[in-house]
Structure 1
Amino acid sequence: MIELEFLGPIQKPKLKLEISTLKELKEFLQKDEELKDWLELCAISINEKIITDINTPLKHGDKIALLPPVSGG
């Protein structure tokens, strides 16, 4: 089981899911109309490391975060 956290302005509670790859996670999240636009903008981290390969396998206990773009000065 993995834990998914939504950061910044994405107002969603944490989820615990049985997901085996980031690709599978993306397919699951695209079913939520509120998240569809965010998915194209967000970076993804696994255990606090930014990941770019959608085929990255996930293992029990991984902590995934959706990181929306931020601006600041």
Structure 2
Amino acid sequence: MVYVKFLGPIKEETFEVEASNLEGLRQILHEKQNLHSWLSVSAVAINGELIEDIHTPLRAGDEVVFLPPVCGG
């Protein structure tokens, strides 16, 4: 199981899910209606490291964090 967290305005609780890589996790999350629009614009960190490769493998106990874009002034 991997732990999935969402920061900022993404209104979703932290949960655990089985996924072998980031691509598989995104497919699972795509089914959640309120997350659909955030997936394409959010950065992703695994265990505190920003990840760009969708094929990055996930291991049991990994923490995956979705970071939405931030605006400021």
Structure-2-length-normalised TM-score: 0.95
Backbone CA RMSD of aligned residues: 0.8
4+ long deviations beyond 4 Å: none
Measure the CA separation in 2 of the matches of 1:39 and 1:11.
13
Letter matched to residue 34 of structure 1: N
SS in 2 for 1:41: coil
Q: CA deviation at 1:18?
A: 1.3
**Is residue 2:55 matched to residue 1:55?**
yes
User: Match for residue 34 of structure 1?
Assistant: 34
Structure-1-length-normalised TM-score: 0.95
Letter matched to residue 15 of structure 1: F
**Identity of matched residues, %:** 42
CA deviation string 1:3-53 (max 9, x = no partner)? 000100011110111111000000001111111110011000000110000
Query: Number of residues paired by the alignment?
Result: 73
Measure the CA separation in 2 of the matches of 1:72 and 1:47.
26
